[in-house]
Amino acid sequence: MDADPAVFPYLDAVAALNGVSTTPWVQRFEKVRKKDLKQTDILFGGDICFWDELVKPVGTMIDRAIDAGVGTIVIGDPERPTFHQMAEKAIQRHGGELLNWRLTGSVKATGALLVIHND
């Protein structure tokens, strides 16, 4: 899912490299409804809370996912302040944890994962 259909050719390329297929869904976070998430077991997101204007819509989507019974929510980010703001609110409301990650080797990077188990 992305609000910008121009990202899907990149998603398709990564999916092909990994031998999987995807079904693109052009949608904004604030338009995702509880019924859209009813059949979802795991909700993954990456680099999705990069503007101040996204803190509330991403948080609301997490609230709806919890209400819909999504079992696990994982959102990764290179640790932008907006991500941490959203993650802190989500953890206060639903529990969960913030895990740090680090890449070493020829590419060096750090980030964090928000992980919420809705058991």
93 and 51 in one domain? yes
In single-letter form, the type of residue at position 103 comes to L
Whether 119 shows a pLDDT value over 90: the answer reads no
Residue 85 domain boundaries: 39-117
The first and second tokens of residue 108, run together, are: 């060096």
Whether 118 shows a pLDDT value over 90: the answer reads yes
Number of domains the chain contains: 2
80 and 56 in one domain? yes
Residues 96-114, mean pLDDT to the nearest whole number: 95
Mean pLDDT (the chain) is: 96
43 and 14 in one domain? no
- CA dist., res. 96 & res. 106, Å (int): 32
- CA 74 to chain CA centroid, Å, is 6
Percentage of residues of the chain with pLDDT beyond 70: 100
Whether 60 shows a pLDDT value over 90: the answer reads yes
86 and 58 in one domain? yes
Confidence of residue 10 (pLDDT cuts 50, 70, 90): very high
Q: What is the pLDDT of residues 15-55, one digit of tens each?
A: 999 999 999 999 999 999 999 999 999 999 999 999 999 99
- CA dist., res. 62 & res. 74, Å (int): 10
- 75 with 47: CB under 8 angstroms? no
